[in-house]
Structure 1
Amino acid sequence: MTDRKSPSSWTLLSCMPVVVMAVVAVTDIVAGPSVGFLPLVSLGPAFAGLVGGWRRTAWFGLAALVLCVALGLYDGLFDERRGYTALASVAGVTGVGVAAAVMRSRREAELASVRSIAEVAQRVLLRPVPLTAGPLHAAVSYTSAVAEARIGGDLYEVVSSPHGVRVIVGDVQGKGLAAVETAAVVLGAFREAAYDEAHLSGLGDRLERSVARELEGEKFVTAILAEIGTAHEAVFLNYGHPAPMIVRSNGTVDFPQPHAFALPLGLGAHGSEGPEPYRVGFAPGEQLLLYTDGVTEARDEDGRFYPVGERAHLLKNVDAHRALEALREDLAQHSVGPPHDDAAMLLLRYHGHGEEKCVPPSE
């Protein structure tokens, strides 16, 4: 389980029991028994239980009892009830601290188990994209809006099929586990249909039927499908998703738009026609960036959206993953505070055929 505390704060909490008991002992000796500091020795095991297990708490409780007895004898408090009251206070706080430490350890173990299972499920859902697919080199970046989560409602996949390299980037309505479940439906349907359907429009129809069958109410998924073959062009199907960005070999940027806009996946039952495929030139030396609206709708402190087109120069790095990491870091610097929406980016570079390898997304 990942510890979110900084090393300095962790060290401070670890040393606190010793510091507290030392301060109480010195103060009691200097001020005398009339001040009544002796019961505060129980703060030692109380602080010990914040960062340690039950054994650590018990050892500090034992040390506090010994210190309490020593100070009580020094002050002559066992001739009256005050000494025994202080001992009872230390013993009681130690007992409660040990019980709390045991319960916390059990909860942490359960949470670690749940997180490990969730991470396996996340890796299965958003598995690493191939480093090379057909004539393309690929890199992906994913930033979840949910703290400590690796995935959310955005999705991506790259599949080398007999009909070309087929790609999807999508954004599920909503966040959290419900969005992850919807993303799993879309990705499962895409991975199966990408191999079977001869035409990109047929692949889109399969996705629409799968999503409409699985989703309830007004849930929907914006998505863009792409197919890159050997004809130096890319074919797109856009289901209400932000337009792709193509960086030409001379550095100019295009955002090819569909001839007619279509509703997102899941809303096809409302009677509108599906999207029409449109073709765009995509040649060696050029780059294709697919992304979700968590990228373009990120705002700075003045409320300005992230100008992804103006940041195309950040993709000049020879290494595709470093180039995309530079863009992700620039996006994080542009945004104010934690991300409010998931942000996925998939970078495809038209190079040549290579051996297919898999790499995980940058986080």
Structure 2
Amino acid sequence: MSGRGLRPVTGRPARRLLPGDPVQRHQMLRVRGRSVAWVPPLVLLIGIMAIDYNTARDFRIISWLVLVPGIAAAICGVWGTAAFAVLSTTTYVVGDSVLPNEYQAGSADLMLSAIGGVLATLACAIRVRGEARMLHMRDVADTIRRTVLRPLPSPWGGLDHAAVYLTADVEAAVGGDFYDVQPGPQGTRVLIGDVQGKGLGAVEAAAALLGTFREAAFHEPDLAVVAERLETRMRRHTGHLSALGRDDNDRFATAVLLSFPANDSTALESVVFGHEPPLLVGPSGVRQLPPGGALPLGLGELIGGSGPPVVLCSRLAPGETVLLTTDGVTEARDGVGAFYPLAEEVARGVAADPRLTDPHRLVAYVRDGTLRHSGGRLADDTTVFAVRRTDG
């Protein structure tokens, strides 16, 4: 698969629409900005009357008009549904009295049509209220997402970047994966990580680490000190949870901390906290950064007294992009349980199309490959993040 024709990717987490998503449904029922939700129930009403008019008296279906407000209740607003309830009942009265067939449906079916219209209107009101509540909760979730994973300008801090973030829980806007870019006087620092576990507890830990990173990465000249600050923050966070009596106080986080020094355009400093090492993707191929020896954040006390983590120094070739992923990519399995071969797939893609080193193309390629390999079933939050220095 080449990088040609891939959909553009921004720095925002991607949203996967749920079945029956109200926003998606309303978009489908609009043409040139105008709602056409009234068309299906109106066509149904006209169709019922046309069939009833052209069939014999032994096949009277005028009572089927009760279906019209029911269809309207599923796609129209409350007032639209009420209008169709009145229209279908009125049409029933007029049609039953003037149609040429001898058989008359009678008052019982008329009452059925009227009661059906009332019930449909009430059901529509409940549906609209539920959709409003769902959209409100989505706004709350989006606010949380923007707070934890703030929108990043592109380029930012001398880096071109692109990201894809898919949560395993399709109803959630954010999970335990996190990433950020922080420019500062010493250069630009990048952080990506994955908090162990799921749920709001993982989001809390991710927010705590990102807050510390944004401050330390700007003020601290030494990347090792930034790494120490992150380790301390994770321990403080779990200690706070212990004091509250929470049972999720044993969390830790794998992470990769990078630095692009301002005074050296080819240098790359890295600290890997038990995370999958980044890949350097360039026109000449794919290579992996050294894994390092740091434990995941929050577990550093297991080797207490060993000093700050070792900062690894590497050199970037011209045009190389740093590709960072979480285990939602590397642990994606196909139908027979085989893991997604990230490095091999990226190397194959770059060989077919050298333009794949562009961050936006690269993250789109990895996203599509991961979803294809796993059949769209993500077992964990999935983040794909790519950065490279801007020209000049």
The TM-score bracket by the shorter chain reads 0.7 to 0.9
The one-letter code of the counterpart of 1:64 is: S
| Other-structure match for 1:309 | 343
What corresponds to 1:57 in structure 2?
81
CA distance in 1, matches of 2:184, 2:320: 21
SS in 2 for 1:348: strand
Report SS of the residue matched to 1:226. strand
SS of alignment partner, residue 314 of structure 2:
strand
1:351–1:90 Cα change, 3 Å: closer
Q: C-alpha offsets along residues 100-119 of structure 1, whole Å, 9 cap, x if unaligned? A: 21222222223223323432
State the 1:228 CA deviation.
Answer: 2.1
For residues 116 and 136 of structure 1, the distance between their equivalents in structure 2, rounded to whole angstroms, comes to 30
Tell me which amino acid in the other structure corresponds to 2:150.
Answer: R
1:286: which partner in 2?
320
Unaligned runs of 5+ in 2: 1-21, 242-248
1:238 and 1:191 map into 2 onto residues whose CA distance is: 18
Determine the structure 2 residue equivalent to 1:235: 269
Q: Distance in 1 between matches of 2:389 and 2:51?
A: 73
Three-state SS of the structure 1 residue aligned to 2:190 is strand
* Superposed displacement of residue 198, structure 1: 2.9
Task: Name the CA distance, whole Å, in 2 between partners of 1:38 and 1:252.
Answer: 69
User: For the structure 1 residues 130 and 51, does the alpha-carbon distance in structure 2 shift closer, same or farther, using more than 3 Å as the test?
Assistant: closer
For the residue of structure 2 that corresponds to 1:44, the secondary structure is helix
* Alignment-mate amino acid for residue 231 of structure 2: E
Q: What's the counterpart of residue 244 of structure 2?
A: none
The answer for the alignment partner of 2:12 in structure 1 is: none
Q: CA deviation at 1:49?
A: 0.7
* 1:97 to 1:349, Cα distance in 2 relative to 1, 3 A: same
Q: For residue 331 of structure 2, what is the amino acid of its counterpart? A: E
What are the within-5 Å matches in structure 2 for residues 131-146 of structure 1? 131-133=154-156, 136-146=159-169
Asked if the contact 1:168/1:224 (under 8 Å) is kept, the reply is yes
Structure-2 change in CA distance of 1:67 and 1:306 (3 Å): same
* 1:175 pairs with 2:198: yes
1:320 alignment partner, one of 359, 363, 366: 359
Deviation of 1:89 after TM superposition, in Å, equals 1.0
Pair 1:158 & 2:197 matched: no
**TM-score, normalising length from structure 1?**
0.82
Instruction: Give the deviation of 1:139 after TM superposition.
Output: 2.7
**1:143-179 superposed Cα distances (whole Å, 9 cap, x missing partner):** 3323265533211111122233211100122334433
Distance 1:185 1:317, change over 3 A: same
**Closer/same/farther in 2, CA of residues 332 and 315 from structure 1, 3 Å limit:** farther
> What is the aligned counterpart of 1:299 among 313, 333, 338?
333
Aligned to 1:42: 66
Distance 1:15 1:351, change over 3 A: closer
Number of residue pairs matched by the alignment: 347
The counterpart of 1:116, out of the listed 139, 142, 146, is 139
1:109-151 CA-partner distances (Å, limit 9, x unpaired): 2322332343233223212334345554333232332326553
Distance 1:83 1:76, change over 3 A: farther
Alignment of 1:15-34 (within 5 A): 15-22=39-46, 24-25=48-49, 28-29=52-53, 30-32=55-57
Instruction: Kindly indicate whether the alpha-carbon contact (under 8 Å) linking 1:45 and 1:61 is maintained by their aligned counterparts in 2.
Output: yes
1:185 Cα deviation (Å)?
1.3
Are residues 64 and 237 of structure 1, via their aligned partners in 2, closer, same or farther at CA, if it must alter by over 3 Å?
same
Distance 1:315 1:156 in 2: 26
Shift in Å, 1:190: 0.7
Which of 159-168 and 44-53 deviates more? 159-168
1:293 is displaced (CA, Å) by 1.1
Q: Kindly state the Cα deviation for residue 7 of structure 1 after the two structures are TM-superposed.
A: 4.0
Query: For residues 225 and 380 of structure 2, what CA distance do their matches in structure 1 show?
Result: 30
Which amino acid counterpart does residue 263 of structure 1 have in structure 2?
Answer: L
Tell me whether 1:204 sits opposite 2:227 in the alignment: yes
Deviation at 1:187, TM superposition (A): 0.7
Task: State the SS of the aligned residue for 1:3.
Answer: helix
Asked whether 1:244 is paired with 2:278, we answer: yes
Work out whether residues 245 and 256 of structure 1, in 8 Å CA contact, stay in contact via their aligned partners in 2.
no
Question: What runs of 5+ residues in structure 1 fail to find an aligned partner?
Answer: 354-363
